[in-house]
Structure 1
Amino acid sequence: MKVQTKFHGEIEIEEKDLFTFESGIPGFIDEKKFALLPLEGTPFIVLQSTKTREVAFIMSSPFEVFNNYEVKVSQDVLSDLQIESEKDVSIYVIVTVRDPFNETTANLQAPIVLNTSNQLGKQFIMNSSNYSIRELLIPSPEQEEK
């Protein structure tokens, strides 16, 4: 299928490569099908809606940047995504790129959880976590001292 994308123009995507978000994403509940598209030359990936060109989220693996980051996926999410094995799970966080880049933040409180074996996805809001929705991707020197 041909998809109009925010960052890659029109591209061809195989249906088998799409992730289904049964409940959409909070704030975008009508967006159900997404593709993962690499942002060439960066450590980022784009979660691109197949329905709406402008609905594209820049994401990153949180584990490469935040050494002690932990996601305790709820039983509901495990069930919704039909997760049977940890090896089938990929976790990303949505990144808000700012200018200057050192003010770029990651939403650690609501990771994107993907089941790569059946192509299901969900944004999981960790209400009881100490994580912020705006964690600096590049900590300031003051934060690094903590």
Structure 2
Amino acid sequence: MTIETKYKGEITIHAADVFTFEKGIPGFSNETSFVFLPFVEETPFYIMQSVKTPMLAFFVTDPFTFFQTYDFQLDDAVVNQLNIKSEKEVSVFVILTVADPFANTTANLQAPIVLNVNKKLGKQVILADERYTTKHSLMSKTTEEAEHVSVDSKTK
């Protein structure tokens, strides 16, 4: 099928790549079908694009790339709703608030997007965990220093 997207224009997707969010996501209850598109190859960033509404798209990333200690438990209701039988079926993304400069970008660790990649089901889960907020800095000092070193070493 062909869809119009916010960042990539008109593209062709396969119906098998569409994830169903039974009740939508908070604030967008009528948006129940999304596809995950690589933002740019070889990066950890994706676009969570609504299949129905071209201008509705979110920048997302795998949180474990940036937050190695990120950890949460899904309650039984979510596990049942997503028909999860094994951890191997699960993929997790978090929505980013992209800032200029990019170093100020934040991640919403309080409300991860949980996917059953086998059943193509998804849900944005609101965690009742005080360790996480909607605005965690994506670029820690360590990450920024590593980027600075790698840029410097390439210019020499």
CA drift of 1:64 comes to 1.0
SS in 1 for 2:68: coil
SS in 2 for 1:76: helix
| Matched residue count | 141
Q: Percent identity?
A: 48
- 2:94 match: 93
Query: CA–CA distance in 2 between the matches of 1:14 and 1:128?
Result: 36
Structure 2 contact 44–65 (Cα < 8 Å) conserved: no
- 1:144 match: none
Query: CA–CA distance in 2 between the matches of 1:74 and 1:129?
Result: 16
CA drift of 1:127 comes to 1.7
CA drift of 1:139 comes to 2.3
Structure 2's unaligned 5+ residue stretches are 143-156
CA drift of 1:140 comes to 4.6
Alignment partner of 1:82 is 2:60: no
Query: CA–CA distance in 2 between the matches of 1:129 and 1:21?
Result: 25
Q: 2:65 corresponds to which letter in structure 1? A: E
Q: 2:51 corresponds to which letter in structure 1? A: T
1:130-141 mapped onto 2 (5 Å cutoff): 130-140=131-141
CA drift of 1:16 comes to 1.0
SS in 2 for 1:63: helix
Q: 1:103 corresponds to which letter in structure 2? A: N
Query: CA–CA distance in 2 between the matches of 1:67 and 1:40?
Result: 22
Structure 1's unaligned 5+ residue stretches are 142-146
Query: CA–CA distance in 2 between the matches of 1:76 and 1:130?
Result: 22
Structure 2 contact 110–126 (Cα < 8 Å) conserved: yes
Query: CA–CA distance in 1 between the matches of 2:16 and 2:140?
Result: 38
Q: 2:118 corresponds to which letter in structure 1? A: S
Moved more, 22-31 or 124-133: 124-133
Structure 2 contact 61–93 (Cα < 8 Å) conserved: yes
- 2:154 match: none
Query: CA–CA distance in 1 between the matches of 2:67 and 2:17?
Result: 28
Moved more, 33-42 or 46-55: 33-42
TM superposition score normalised by structure 1: 0.93
Moved more, 37-46 or 55-64: 37-46
- 1:53-105 deviations in whole A, cap 9, x for unaligned? 11111101111111110021111110100000110000010011100111100
Query: CA–CA distance in 1 between the matches of 2:44 and 2:85?
Result: 28
Query: CA–CA distance in 2 between the matches of 1:26 and 1:97?
Result: 19
Based on CA coordinates, which of the two structures has the bigger radius of gyration? 2
